[in-house]
């Protein structure tokens, strides 16, 4: 690893090397400078597992309110049009639950927490399983599909649309808007133009749904958020923004989990054979998919006070970004970190966060991943990768495949008993 990246600019977070293989790119940083000052973008890059865990759990020293607290322009630089849209983007991002610190964060999270616990999501497992069966019933043995459009996106979009009680006919529109919202962490100078199209579209979409739930509440997640406005926890704009957040974040993590996970199995056929032989390994396999090629590569914070990390002093107001992709491959924590092993245990990956900002939808993503892997293991004997060199969206945050063309060989149908 060190030799192949010896002459690479490790400050260029949007370099082809960083997007294509963040494990080698940020693994090199973890080896030579685990608490690294990135002069190009003026922020700290944290890559060691122990440091990431310490930072994530210390919400008093490291604020999530990055958008509100950081007056500096985004990185990489925006074009002139993007600069005119900056305040609109900051308002949208600044109203999200994930951008809040205590006590505001606790007030908003309590509205939803009980609906996203592991026990609450278990009640939805039969629905998720039936959605998996419907999708897999559409597969044909020997046919080539794009996993991203045929499985990875449809399953979580179908599930979150159901949980938020939005029409099934709206699913393609939700996916289209989600694709635009993904531009928030891309590197193109003109990225905010597409991003703001997504912001305006998702807010316009959410507005009539929120208004209806305020007057006719149901059992869905939008009604839960609407209760937040009724009791004074949120104003109307915050209600709409967090409806948008649930619609987007409620499925994007799983899209990447499924796509990256299937690719990992294709490249490790022995592990697929292991899962086929023991489908009950689907739970541990899902955790290993989350660790090995996580849906989210990195997350940002801003220092609320001077603090020492490793042997470096991070000053109040400094930006920092911890690299999940590097922490999850830290050899001090994970034996054979670059091997994909579905029975790995324990598996203390940081893909879903820790502490007060532990991913609200973690249980949902896990159940969706488990049910799809189990369903595939019961039907698919082998995969053949048709995308010679898979490409990824140029995002510093998300590990998102552009497409994943695969030919699947399905088991022959079992003959009915005579």
Which pLDDT tens digit goes with each residue over 246-281?
988 778 899 999 999 999 999 999 999 999 999 999
Whole-number Å distance between alpha carbons of 154 and 251: 9
pLDDT of residue 10: 92
Which pLDDT tens digit goes with each residue over 205-250?
999 999 999 999 999 999 999 999 999 999 999 999 999 999 887 7
- The pLDDT of residue 3 is above 60: no
The closest alpha carbon to 225, from 115, 110, 111, belongs to 111
- The pLDDT of residue 2 is above 50: no
How confident is the model over 136-162, as a mean pLDDT?
A: 96
pTM: 0.95
- The pLDDT of residue 416 is above 70: no
Bridge-based pairing state of the strands 319-323 and 43-46: parallel
How confident is the model over 372-394, as a mean pLDDT?
A: 96
Which pLDDT tens digit goes with each residue over 167-211?
999 999 999 999 999 898 899 999 999 999 999 999 999 999 999
Look up the CATH architecture of domain 16-410: Orthogonal Bundle (1.10)
Confidence of residue 1 (pLDDT cuts 50, 70, 90): very low
The overall average pLDDT reported for the chain is 94
pLDDT of residue 237: 97
């Amino acid at each position: 690893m060190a030799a192949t990246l010896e002459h690479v600019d490790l400050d260029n977070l949007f370099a082809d090397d960083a997007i294509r293989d963040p494990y080698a790119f940020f693994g090199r940083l973890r080896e030579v400078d685990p608490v690294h000052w990135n002069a190009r973008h003026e922020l700290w890059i944290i890559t060691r597992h122990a440091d990431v865990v310490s930072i994530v759990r210390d919400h008093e020293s490291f604020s999530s309110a990055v958008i509100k607290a950081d007056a500096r322009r985004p990185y990489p630089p925006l074009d002139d049009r993007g600069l005119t849209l900056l305040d609109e983007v900051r308002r949208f991002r600044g109203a999200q639950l994930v951008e809040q610190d205590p006590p505001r964060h606790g007030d908003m999270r309590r509205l939803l927490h009980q609906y996203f616990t592991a026990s609450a999501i278990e009640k939805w497992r039969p629905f998720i399983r039936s959605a998996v069966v419907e999708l897999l019933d559409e597969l044909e043995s020997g046919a080539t599909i794009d996993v991203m459009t045929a499985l990875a996106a449809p399953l979580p979009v179908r599930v979150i649309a159901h949980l938020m009680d939005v029409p099934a006919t709206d699913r393609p529109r939700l996916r289209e808007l989600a694709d635009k919202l993904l531009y928030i962490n891309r590197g193109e100078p003109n990225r905010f133009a597409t991003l703001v199209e997504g912001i305006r579209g998702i807010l316009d979409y959410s507005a009539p749904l929120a208004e209806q739930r305020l007057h006719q509440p149901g059992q869905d997640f939008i009604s839960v958020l609407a209760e937040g406005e009724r009791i004074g926890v949120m104003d109307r704009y915050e209600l709409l923004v967090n409806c948008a957040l649930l619609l987007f974040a409620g499925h994007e993590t799983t899209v990447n989990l499924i796509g990256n996970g299937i690719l990992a199995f294709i490249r490790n056929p022995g592990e697929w054979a292991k899962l086929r032989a023991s489908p009950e390994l689907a739970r541990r396999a899902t955790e290993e998919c989350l660790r090995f090629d996580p849906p989210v590569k990195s997350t940002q914070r801003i220092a609320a006070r001077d603090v020492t990390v490793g042997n470096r002093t991070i000053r109040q107001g400094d930006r920092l970004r911890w690299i999940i992709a590097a922490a999850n491959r830290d050899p001090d924590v994970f034996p054979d970190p670059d091997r994909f092993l579905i029975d790995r245990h324990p598996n203390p990956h940081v893909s879903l966060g820790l502490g007060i900002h532990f991913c609200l939808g973690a249980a949902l993503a896990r159940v969706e991943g488990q049910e799809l892997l189990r369903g595939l293991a019961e039907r698919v004997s082998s995969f053949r990768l048709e995308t010679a060199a898979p490409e990824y969206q140029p995002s510093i945050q998300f590990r998102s495949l552009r497409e994943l063309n695969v030919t699947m060989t399905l088991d022959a149908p079992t003959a009915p008993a005579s």
